[in-house]
Structure 1
Amino acid sequence: MVFSSVIFLFLFLPFVLLGYYLLSRKNIQIKNTYLLLASSIFYYFGEQNSIFIMMFVIALNFYIAPYLYPDYSNDKKTFLQKYRLGLLSACVVICIGLLWYFKYLNFSIELLNALFHKQLFEFKDIVLPLGISFYTFHALSYTFDVYYGRMLPEKSLLRFMTYVMMFPQLVAGPIVRYIDIKKQFYHRCVTQAGLYNGIRRFCYGLSKKVLLANTVSIYADKIFSAPIEQLGLLDLWLGAIAYALQIYFDFSGYSDMAIGLAMMFGFRYKENFNYPYIAKSASEFWRRWHISLSTWLRDYVYIPLGGNKLGTYKKIKNVLIVFILSGLWHGANSTFVCWGALYGIFIALETLGLRNLLKKSNTLSHIYLILIALTGWVIFRSDTMNYACEYLIKMYSLTAIDVNTIPMENNIVFAMVIGLIFCYDWRPHYKRIVIRASNLSHRVFYIEKLSGFIISVLLFVISAMSIVSSSHNPFIYFRF
């Protein structure tokens, strides 16, 4: 079940919200149980038996975590507490092992067969459980935080299950840490402002996904499914730009919907995107793109490896490890690994001094980042590295001046123009206009809120009409 589906929008969500608001405000335990039940139905609707894999990951992390907490006040540790690192390692190996089996086994077989130039192993018929990359990282973040003493172990299995299985972030993120929202499972309330902001945020996210990402994806799919020799220079550049817009509005739209849904239930999630295409370096891009993943890898991989405290070259090694893992997390293909390595290399170069050069010109540094991003998305979107290399060679070739061969419909042109406009952060300018207008009339803030809500409702109606009339409704990050 996806958020941009008729069943979710007009059946599941309205009934779940209605039931949630009818429950007693004082009994938070009942509300948690209700959310757990609703989330189980949400996941089971699409995955059926795969839900037991998630249950196993939840149980493993929940029951091991109490033995991992560093109890400095108690010298008489239990037998298991003496082997905290071993227990943590076992838990990580099992969780990552499950992720590897379902997501990377066939990729590993392909690499081994290619290495020895023979069919050593047969490929397995494996169905990837929905959201396994996300709920595995959810559960492990809790276990790591307990191990490092950042939080006490959770005593209630029901609360922990609700945290991992909450349907807003279950299948496509953002990666929400338990330490950030633990208190909200003990006390939260849905205010009028929270409900209003949640609805508006959800509607904006839905429109970004349905009206922008889905529309430009039609052109991106045409370009990346066509033979390279049939594509002109303009086709190649427009195809890369279309996919850059598609993946941004697809994933940021989903994150907006998840954050909006959480607000409707009284939760507050951290932001996952912050206008990444206005960045002026590769390192800044990753402080703005998929923030929950980059901070997860920073806190649980980069810093434990030594971070930037062991000298420049070890820092570069750690950066490369983190970004290769980031690429691999996105999918079992050499293209994802190369995509992650691309960012790792440029961030390493920025560490060695390129960053100082970029500071001299905002315009050139922004062009530098956009070229890296477009290059990366071509690699990310390609099925093989051979195709990506052919695409990029022709795309950056000054001799390929042939005209475009694949026409672009007017609705796609319009969506791309709107998408490019909203890649820029207009919020500071908008706030200044509202504040200046408020000096003339105190009704401005009321009008601003009312108009914002009306616009969000209109966007929801248009998005819903598009969903009903179209069968083209992909979600990029569902395959991760």
Structure 2
Amino acid sequence: MLFNSIDFALFLPIVFLLYWFVTNKSIWWQNLLIVGASYLFYGWWDWRFLFLIFFSTLVDYGIGLALGNEAHAGKRKALLWVSVLVNLGLLGFFKYYNFFLENFVSAFTLLGRPISGDALHIVLPVGISFYTFQTLSYTIDVYRKKLAPTKDFVSFMAFVSFFPQLVAGPIERATHLLPQFHQPRKFQYRSAVDGMRQILWGLSKKVVVADNCAEFANLTFNHTSDYAGSTLWLGAVFFAFQIYCDFSGYSDIAIGTARLFGFDLMRNFAFPYFSRDVAEFWRRWHISLSTWFRDYLYIPLGGSRGGTMLNIRNIFIIFIVSGLWHGANWTFIVWGLLHALYFLPLLLLKRNRQHVGTVAEASFFPSAKEATQIIFTFGLVVLGWVFFRAHDMSHAVQYLTGMFSSSILAPIEIEAQITLPLLLILAVFISVEWCTKHKLHPLEKLEQKWKRPMRLTIYYMLAAAIFVLEGQPQAFIYFQF
């Protein structure tokens, strides 16, 4: 079920009314309603995958209880490894089986010992990468004794399958989200209103910005050889805004929807394209995944506690695994490797923590140095996105070669009727984000600055833009991960 669909527009108010007016006397019934609604939401694509998410839920719930009753260190570690192997085994089979098989066969062929292997027609379950990491966070935190295992199976099912963030995050920690299912929830009008504002902003980012950018980006990436370098650069920039507005728009809708039901989800984006270096970019982009890898992989590997070489090794592992998490393709691995190379000079010069605040905090305009840093960092990120969007490595090389060809200064080859309105939309969007970069989202606490008539005007303008300026509907990009 898509957030930007008629189905969801009917689904959400029905669940909301049942939640607050029918099941509001009992936490257990509210949680059970969330489980039913979440399974309906997830099963809307393919009901067969409900068995997979239920199995993962059952495994980690049982292992959590076993960890709570086991004091022996060796047995506790064995239980943890059962959870890790089952969860990553399922993820690996559905997401990476054909990729590893193909590369295994290719490796033996290169060595002069050709072998054969039959690829399987595997359908990737939507959101498996997200809910797998979410359930793993529970088992690991129970193992570390940071969280007591829950005995309420309904609450745990609700935690794993919570429909607002089930298929594309944010990836919630059990220590943050699970306790919220055990606490009484009261309807908070101000929080719900702000949630609706965030939903509206997220929808406008997805429908107006991302889907329109997708049309141009698809032209250049699907017909790379037909365009000059200048057009390819613009296509890569438009893809950068497509993936940002698509994914952060989903996160905004998820966070806003959760607030309607009295839940607080973690922030997933913090205006990443205003970053002054790549380290800051990764503190602001897909925050829930970045911090997950930091806490459950980087720190256990030794983090920055060892020597320089150990630190470099850990950074490369984190970025390469992050790339592989995104998809079974060498393009994603190279994308992660490229960001590791971007990060390396900052690490060696010990400048990876120099930009932790918001850019231009004391003034409206950035300094010349800050503006240069932002543009340079954005350029590096755009080059990385070429690998992310390309069909395969040869396509990525072809696209990058075209970008840096002698035609880089040639006139844009897409009709002005397409490019000029889109550039205007982006200019307005960037201006709004810049002016509100100190907020959680641009419409946050709007009543503190604007009177009711002006607020209503803003809401109606955004709603009108969603219907008038919508691009060709596109599936949310991160559904494929």
TM-score (norm 2): 0.89
Q: How does 1:259-338 map to 2 (within 5 A)?
A: 259-338=255-334
Find the counterpart in structure 2 of residue 179 from structure 1: 175
**SS of structure 2 residue aligned to 1:120:** coil
What are the within-5 Å matches in structure 2 for residues 245-264 of structure 1? Answer: 245-264=241-260
> Which residue among 188, 191, 205 is the counterpart of 1:191?
188
- Report what 1:98 is aligned to: 90
Q: Residue 480 of structure 2 aligns with which residue? A: 479
CA distance in 1, matches of 2:11, 2:447: 36
TM-aligned CA deviation for residue 331 of structure 1: 0.7
1:122-168 C-alpha deviation (Å, 9 max, x unpaired)? 21100011110111011001111111111101111100000111110
1:62 aligns with 2:77: no
* Distance (whole Å) between structure 2 residues aligned to residue 445 and residue 420 of structure 1: 22
1:447 positional shift: 4.0
Q: Which residue of 2 aligns with 1:213?
A: 210
Within 5 A, what are the aligned runs for 1:353-432? 353=349, 355=351, 361-397=369-405, 400-408=408-416, 409=418, 410-424=420-434, 426-428=436-438
Instruction: Tell me, in whole angstroms, the C-alpha distance in 1 between the residues paired with 2:451 and 2:115.
Output: 64
Deviation of the 1:26 alpha carbon:
3.7
**Residues in 2 aligned to 1:357 and 1:286: alpha-carbon distance in whole angstroms:** 11
Distance 1:399 1:210 in 2: 32
- State the partner residue of 1:19: 18
- With 36-45 and 251-260 compared, the bigger mean Cα shift is at 36-45
Q: Any conservation in 2 of the 1:252–1:273 contact (CA below 8 Å)?
A: yes
**Cα distance, 1:401 vs. partner?**
3.5
The percentage of aligned residue pairs carrying the same residue is 38
C-alpha deviation, 1:345, in angstroms: 1.6
The aligned counterpart of 1:343 is 339
- What letter matches 1:329 in structure 2? W
- Gapped regions of structure 1 (runs ≥ 5): 72-76, 436-442
Residue 8 (1) aligns with residue 21 (2): no
Contact 1:202 1:258 in 2 (8 A): yes
Contact 1:273 1:291 in 2 (8 A): yes
1:120 deviates by 1.9
1: CA distance between counterparts of 2:6 and 2:468?
Answer: 10
Q: C-alpha displacement at 1:446, in angstroms?
A: 7.6
Give the 3-state SS of the residue equivalent to 1:383 in structure 2: coil
* Amino acid of the structure 2 residue aligned with 1:403: P
Partner Cα distance (1:78, 1:347) in 2: 41
2-structure distance, mates of 1:49, 1:34: 20
Conserved? CA contact 2:298–2:315, under 8 Å: yes
TM-score (norm 1): 0.89
Structure 2's unaligned 5+ residue stretches are: 356-367
1:439 counterpart residue number: none
Give 1:478's aligned amino acid.
Answer: F
Structure 2 counterpart of 1:445, which letter? Q
2:134 aligned residue (134, 138, 141): 138
CA drift at 1:78: 5.9
Contact 1:358/1:365 (8 A) holds in 2: no
Aligned to 1:232: 228
- Give the C-alpha shift of residue 179 in structure 1: 0.8
User: CA 1:253/1:49 → structure 2, altered by over 3 Å: closer, same or farther?
Assistant: same
Relative to structure 2, which stretch is displaced further, 454-463 or 274-283?
454-463
1: CA distance, partners of 2:288 / 2:331: 22
For structure 1, which segment, 20-29 or 187-196, has the greater mean C-alpha deviation from structure 2 after superposition? 20-29
